[in-house]
Structure 1
Amino acid sequence: MAELPSGFAAIILVGGKARRFAGCAKSELVVGGATILERMLSACEGAAARVVVGSRPSASAALPGGVTGLVEDPPGSGPAHAVAAGLRVVPEDCTRVAILGGDLPFLTLEALQLLIANSEPENTGAVYGDDAGRKQWLCGLWPASRVRQNAAAVSPGAPAKSLFAGIEVNVVPWNAASPPPWFDCDTPADLDQARTWATDT
């Protein structure tokens, strides 16, 4: 099985409000027999560091060994602030970091490898574009040093996009027949679609 390169870290953000799911944590929703977070952590298993940032329900399963879980301070202060908290526990020798929303059931090893292949030169980021070509900012890979610089200046409530200021970015399409890795479960209808795709594949 192919592996992810050394020097790669993944930060998964799970602390969203999920208002359209009546406050239910989207990362804990089950798709294809596993929670979305379990599926994402499996996709990132070969990373040098895996960090889950955000409050999780008390009944959630424990994180696998080697995965760091933490909550940003203050809790619920937005994705940029959460990433800044996650970066503090990412080893300095990790040169690239995937920044991922916690509701991506079809993130795979192959999808991460494609981002890595499109993140050259060294200081360039790579994000998936959806079917309309819109950048999916929370499904991308970034130069860790540049994101650290930007994260040092973010304040609570800052949007995720503020982390990527001044970084050149390649937009990567998903042309495989499998469900796109950028597909996020924002609504109950999205969750139904994800479960249908997971059953069909």
Structure 2
Amino acid sequence: MAPSAESPGQPAFDAVILAGGEARRLGGADKPGLTVGGRSLVEHVVTAVADARTTIVVGPERPIPGVVFVREDPPRSGPVPALAAGLNGVTAPWVVLLAGDLPFITAPHVTSLLNAATTQPPSTTADPVPVTAATQPPSDPADPTPPTTTAGDPAPQPPAAPAHPTPGETPQSVSGDAAGTPADAVRPTRGDAAGTPANAARPTLRDAVAPASGDAREPAPEEGPVGGVVMVDDGGREQWLAGVWPMARLKRALAAYPGRSLKGLLGPLAAVRLALPGRPWFDCDTMDDLEEARMNVLNEWTALACEELGIDPATVDRDLILDLTKEVAHGVARPAAPLTAYLLGLAQGAGTAPDDAAAKLITLAKNWGQATAETLTDS
């Protein structure tokens, strides 16, 4: 398969999409094959990683061009074996790992994940890192939970510092000092004489995975300065099937990992927790999830169609129209539903109130059997 063209400045990456689960909460349906907005769920995800050198889908083969399909052994044995099967075909230094049922994820979301993993941290400076909404400190310095960032910006990293303060150097007081340090600057806490800000990002990646014999602990240049990035949902929960990982370290971790949990495997590799707009983490585990995704597509279509036609969306009673077309589709015929919606528009254009016109048409559809018996005759 010919590799995809990479975006300028974007690191080289491959994509692994896990699309072979059992979908128990969907009654065993072929979840990745269910459609939203005219495309299957897995096609939505494949489109989001169009810039990947190679896209590998772990699951049943489907008619999707430019994709490599593989299966874990045995099939449906869990996400860790599925990931291992997918990684066999990965050659790029970075791998984007995604679930096969993410209808809202897009290429810009993937770019944000890659940027968070590979963007160089701020230039070395003695200035402390401020606490902002984009970088939240862990509640405990010993807590390995990585910081959360937003909009694809990586959490800033503290500058290198000596293990012990230089002679005569002491932590500065909160009230300020003669050196002119602002009183509200971030100060070292819990005896951190090295001066590392309490709110600075704390990558735990370098010591998380024991290197193989002769393998340095420092990341290779192509692996970037940050490490793995996992997306979080609107409640701050990690979505382990939506992230970017440095390939070499992921393979080492997988080789040494005896468990079956993605969280157990990927958790020690995660350096950044990333919140992104647009609910790219939303997956379709139930029929209600699927219906919500389809309604979102309907909302987007309504807004775009109104903009294209110069119609104020506030004047469109979508639910009324949907109720009308549902009655017509079930009571008369499916092709009659869009035709009826068109006739409703003509009636409104002629001055008939849409509520009145819709009520008349719904009544007609419900009494269709009687109406045809009274009005239709053989010629």
User: Normalising TM by the smaller chain, what interval?
Assistant: 0.7 to 0.9
What is the aligned partner in structure 2 of residue 192 from structure 1? 291
What CA distance in whole angstroms lies between the structure 2 residues aligned with 1:26 and 1:173?
A: 25
Shift of 1:10: 0.7
What CA distance in whole angstroms lies between the structure 2 residues aligned with 1:43 and 1:3?
A: 13
Contact 1:11 1:97 in 2 (8 A): yes
Asked which structure has the greater CA Rg, the reply is 2
What is the aligned partner in structure 2 of residue 62 from structure 1? 63
Contact 1:14 1:25 in 2 (8 A): no
User: Percent identity over the alignment?
Assistant: 40
Higher relative contact order (CA 8 A, sep 6+): 1
Contact 1:49 1:90 in 2 (8 A): yes
What is the aligned partner in structure 2 of residue 149 from structure 1? 252
What is the aligned partner in structure 1 of residue 21 from structure 2? 16
Alignment of 1:11-90 (within 5 A): 11-55=16-60, 61-65=62-66, 67-90=67-90
What amino acid does structure 1 have at the position aligned with 2:7? E
What CA distance in whole angstroms lies between the structure 1 residues aligned with 2:11 and 2:228?
A: 17
Contact 2:14 2:90 in 1 (8 A): yes
The secondary structure found in structure 2 opposite 1:52 is: strand
Contact 2:12 2:93 in 1 (8 A): yes
> Structure 1 segments of 4 or more deviating over 3 A?
none
Contact 2:242 2:281 in 1 (8 A): yes
What is the aligned partner in structure 2 of residue 129 from structure 1? 232
TM-score after normalising by structure 1: 0.87
Question: Does structure 1 residue 182 correspond to structure 2 residue 180?
Answer: no
Shift of 1:165: 4.7
The secondary structure found in structure 1 opposite 2:117 is: coil
Query: Deviation per CA, 1:122-162, whole angstroms, max 9, x where unpaired?
Result: 2511121111101111011111111111222345x711123
What CA distance in whole angstroms lies between the structure 1 residues aligned with 2:262 and 2:59?
A: 14
Contact 1:128 1:140 in 2 (8 A): yes
What CA distance in whole angstroms lies between the structure 1 residues aligned with 2:82 and 2:35?
A: 24
What is the aligned partner in structure 2 of residue 111 from structure 1? 109
Question: Does structure 1 residue 172 correspond to structure 2 residue 173?
Answer: no
TM-score after normalising by structure 2: 0.47
The secondary structure found in structure 2 opposite 1:166 is: helix
What amino acid does structure 2 have at the position aligned with 1:101? A
Shift of 1:54: 2.1
The secondary structure found in structure 1 opposite 2:86 is: helix
Contact 1:81 1:151 in 2 (8 A): no
- Determine which structure has the larger helix proportion and give its number: 2
Alignment gaps of 5+ in structure 1: none
What CA distance in whole angstroms lies between the structure 2 residues aligned with 1:106 and 1:87?
A: 24
Q: CA RMSD in A?
A: 1.8
Alignment gaps of 5+ in structure 2: 1-5, 121-223, 301-379
What amino acid does structure 2 have at the position aligned with 1:144? M
